[in-house]
Amino acid sequence: MELVFRRTYRGSLKCAILDWAGTTLDYGVYAPAVVFLDVFRRQGVEITMPEARAPMGVHKKDHLRRIAETPTVAARWRQLKGREVQEQDIEAMYADFVPLQLACLGRYARLIPGTLEALADFRARRMLTGTTTGYTRAMVEVVLQEAQRQGYRPDCTVAADEVPAGRPQPYACWQNAIQLQVWPAEACVKIGDTAPDVGEGLNAGMWTVALALTGNEVGLNEQEVAALAPEERRRRTRAAAEKLAAAGAHYVVDGIWELPPVLDDINRRLAGGEKP
């Protein structure tokens, strides 16, 4: 008989690694979405908000590529310019994107309700707080300054241009773990609002929690959500939750304010020897 011995972590969570827009601030993820519209408009190509939002969560240059590869956008581009999108077009649009994004980030950096309470809950559990994002370091510095002004101070920030590849690759999650000196991977939970967030956490070997209502999938700010009829709000949230669950999220909740029971359940599963 062949025996296999496996080490099992049975401690509690040590770290929460959070996304920025749609998770802790910028309810509805407006800051990048409106800039993508503007960047393509400067090329003479109109894109819709759903087309702008579809690749949300990845590095912003990759995001531009994926918008350009969308069949409807590619067709409009060919009709206007008589050729396919080229890499030099992506570089030109990214050159436009960066200053436009830096200029508007502060306007959309209001904390999502429940963020400070979640941070206090993490600290009460003796959990560290890390962050990952599709933003570059220069962009992260803007949102970090605004977040700190409102009382949100994560223990670690890792930008998309500080790792070999962005989401859904796991490198930014691992870099957080390295900087915070937290291990094993199953002692970490990745929290975000997009499928690439979920993929990043899963690929890093971490628990994943997806936020359906406050993020990119519903794509409405707090006031717009409040104005929805109850049934329409349920419909939109349900559709977002189904998409995020299909991406592999271990848990899907409406917003950051619903995290404490989820963390309790993950700790229960860890104590029983479960892994993500």
User: Both tokens of residue 160?
Assistant: 């998309």
Whole-angstrom CA distances from 51 to 32, 228, 232 are: 12, 22, 21
Separation CA 32–CA 196 (nearest Å): 15
**Tokens 């993950």 label which residue?**
266
Residue among 148, 143, 122 nearest 132 (CA): 143
Residue 96 annotated as catalytic = no
Catalytic residue among 14, 19, 26, 197: 19
Cα distances (angstroms) measured from residue 84 to each of 20, 66, 78, 98, 187: 33, 13, 6, 23, 46
Q: For residue 74, which of 83, 62, 89 has the smallest C-alpha distance?
A: 83
> In sequence order, what DSSP letters do the residues of 56-81 get, joined into one string?
TTS-HHHHHHHHHHSHHHHHHHHHHH
Which residue among 14, 60, 61, 190 is the active-site one?
A: 60
Parallel, antiparallel, or unpaired: how do β-strands 251-253 and 207-211 relate? Answer: parallel
82: left (phi over 0), alpha (psi -120 to 50) or beta: left
Is residue 89 part of the annotated active site? The answer reads no
Strand-pairing partners, residue 208, are: 190
| 67 vs 151: CA distance, rounded Å | 35
Could you give the strand order of the β-sheet that contains 251-253, starting from the edge strand earlier in sequence? 128-131, 15-18, 188-192, 207-211, 251-253
What's the CA gap between 170 and 202, in Å, rounded? Answer: 8
Just list the catalytic residues. 19, 60
